[in-house]
A and B are shown apart, each in its own frame.
Chain A
């Protein structure tokens, strides 16, 4: 087992390395640079020497190989450096926003899982009844509805219902409080996070529901389920202990994969709810030619993705010994 884990862990290195190289060159392919943007922002004419000084200060006048070397050695020692745009340490800038995005992602995952597993299981047990059809339409709709539009509809719902109820349209807060210590902060943060979580969670739960349903259907046809029935086991025990456990493997995979995609996909939802999370920082850093920030952000998202995949694979190998010995 430990040999498998080490082997699998080593396989993540080329992916991380490749993504680092890719974002490095992708950013430098974009015409223009941060200094031109900055000096253009001061208005009107700017001279070549000011541009040269600025480029020298930031270090983008050095040969590309030197820059790449500095960047990669920084990555290897987890030293991301300072943001080119704000000048503040990247770790500090990201950690402020990472928490908000992570909270939305976690809440969305929790909401999705709470709905998906029972719904998918019921739909599989009651296959081809009206319950199955309702669950299936719920999940097919969830995959078709764009999450940003669902977010807009949620905002509409809140606006209209509060307008009708109290006469004044009310909007959820947009300021995230990083401390969860007082009741006031907790209610503020929940009121802030729950709507984006639901907006992204619907699609997520639709995917997981479909997977639970089809995995359960497959397991319910297995011989050992027939055996369990034949020996007179209570139906509830068959479902819970014998079927659900075996059907969970693909479901866990889908939940994990969607979680990994969620971190990168929050850009749109944050835009809808006007939240200052990782997604917004992403868009800002690319449009500001903030190379160091974009590189760090891409590495965070790719690392979350690669790590989630790694955990899924290890989990699989732990559950199913055949994978380990392949």
Chain B
């Protein structure tokens, strides 16, 4: 009995999904969302930069070269070098790896944890929901920098701990949004039907509720990536994030950018441009994703 109803539901979904070729859908979207397309381009370029970093630059981003310290931008070094003679372009290209790694991991882990917690809280309701909401309030109110400082003091610095520090504040934000969508879904008859069929809580949550809150979940992920890159840069700039000599954009701004303000201003300018462009790209892309997935906001 249970098996038959499951199959029927899936068959219905098959019929509903449109069968247009993927290429045409993408082209249509590109025409309708020029800004989102520009954002996607930046994101794709950044991903390519991170993957092919070894082939894009002849310079080592880590090795010092005392013969070429604070060289101005030119033919030899397109964006100049820093106080240790490291090529800035090479460090920016390799820095894309750090930024993307931290950005994607922390937003996916944060949003997914938030998804499960938010749907679970909405599904069980009552006292569990109330307690859960208060706990989320605490984490929302808790200053991020203190969380990061504490995480770094407990576990030490490094990329993994930056990810922990950034993930924690993402969880309650995603959980909240997902929970409010899930509350509406809980009242829908097919959840009652699933319950009447005697399905387990885990099965109802994961197979019947989670797929229906995918839209807010994906919106949250895309909006988190840009924020995560920004947070990673801030933490690294404060000396709480990724450590030297790893190439990371925030770290490049920390390393004496202000001391060399008058003699080598390029050191402080280009990494900032990289951060801004990356966040800009992800934000534009995220806005477009939100417009497409959330029909209520489509016209804005």
A contact residues vs B (CB 8 Å cutoff):
14-15, 18-19, 22-23, 26-27, 29-31, 140-141, 143-146, 148-149, 152-153, 155-156, 159-160, 163, 169, 214, 217-218, 264-265, 267-268, 271-272, 279, 282-283, 286-287, 294, 297-298, 301-302, 305-306, 309
- The residue from B154, B276, B284 contacting A149, defined by CB atoms under 8 A apart: B276
Residues on B with beta carbons closer than 8 Å to the beta carbon of A140: 280, 283-284
In the complex, are the beta carbons of B150 and A29 less than 8 A apart?
Answer: yes
In the complex, are the beta carbons of A148 and B150 less than 8 A apart?
Answer: no
Per-position binary interface string of chain B over residues 131-169, scored 1 when its CB falls under 8 Å from any chain A CB and 0 otherwise: 000110110111111110110011000000000000000
Complex CA–CA separation, A321 to B22 (angstroms): 48
B contact residues vs A (CB 8 Å cutoff):
134-135, 137-138, 140-147, 149-150, 153-154, 226, 230, 233-234, 237-238, 250, 253, 257-258, 261-262, 265, 268-269, 271-272, 275-277, 279-280, 283-284, 300
Minimum CB distance partner of A217 in chain B: B300
Residues on A with beta carbons closer than 8 Å to the beta carbon of B154: 29-31
Residues on B with beta carbons closer than 8 Å to the beta carbon of A294: 146
- The residue from B134, B147, B284 contacting A15, defined by CB atoms under 8 A apart: B134
In the complex, are the beta carbons of B142 and A22 less than 8 A apart?
Answer: yes
Q: How far is the CB of B300 from chain A (nearest CB, A)?
A: 6
Complex CA–CA separation, A265 to B235 (angstroms): 11
In the complex, are the beta carbons of B146 and A298 less than 8 A apart?
Answer: yes
In the complex, are the beta carbons of B153 and A301 less than 8 A apart?
Answer: no
In the complex, are the beta carbons of A144 and B146 less than 8 A apart?
Answer: no
Minimum CB distance partner of A297 in chain B: B146
Residues on B with beta carbons closer than 8 Å to the beta carbon of A217: 300
Q: How far is the CB of A4 from chain B (nearest CB, A)?
A: 18
Complex CA–CA separation, A305 to B149 (angstroms): 19
Residues on B with beta carbons closer than 8 Å to the beta carbon of A156: 261, 265, 268-269
In the complex, are the beta carbons of B146 and A23 less than 8 A apart?
Answer: yes
13 A-B Cβ contacts within 8 A? Answer: A22-B142, A23-B142, A29-B150, A141-B280, A144-B279, A144-B280, A145-B272, A146-B279, A156-B269, A160-B265, A163-B262, A265-B144, A301-B146
Residues on A with beta carbons closer than 8 Å to the beta carbon of B238: 267-268, 271, 283
Complex CA–CA separation, A22 to B139 (angstroms): 9
Closest A-B pairs by Cβ, 9 of them: A264-B143, A149-B272, A18-B138, A144-B280, A144-B279, A30-B153, A305-B141, A286-B149, A15-B137
- The residue from A19, A152, A169, A218 contacting B257, defined by CB atoms under 8 A apart: A152
Q: Which of B140, B150, B233, B277 has the most CB of A within 10 A?
A: B150
In the complex, are the beta carbons of A287 and B153 less than 8 A apart?
Answer: yes
Q: How far is the CB of B293 from chain A (nearest CB, A)?
A: 17
In the complex, are the beta carbons of A143 and B279 less than 8 A apart?
Answer: yes
In the complex, are the beta carbons of B142 and A298 less than 8 A apart?
Answer: yes
Q: How far is the CB of A303 from chain B (nearest CB, A)?
A: 9
Residues on A with beta carbons closer than 8 Å to the beta carbon of B275: 145-146, 149
Complex CA–CA separation, A26 to B148 (angstroms): 11
In the complex, are the beta carbons of B149 and A282 less than 8 A apart?
Answer: yes
Q: A144-B230, A146-B234 are in contact. List 18 more A-B contacts (CB 8 A).
A: A14-B134, A22-B142, A30-B150, A146-B272, A149-B271, A149-B272, A156-B261, A156-B265, A156-B268, A159-B262, A265-B145, A267-B145, A271-B238, A282-B146, A283-B145, A286-B153, A298-B146, A305-B140
Residues on A with beta carbons closer than 8 Å to the beta carbon of B280: 140-141, 144
Residues on B with beta carbons closer than 8 Å to the beta carbon of A267: 145, 238
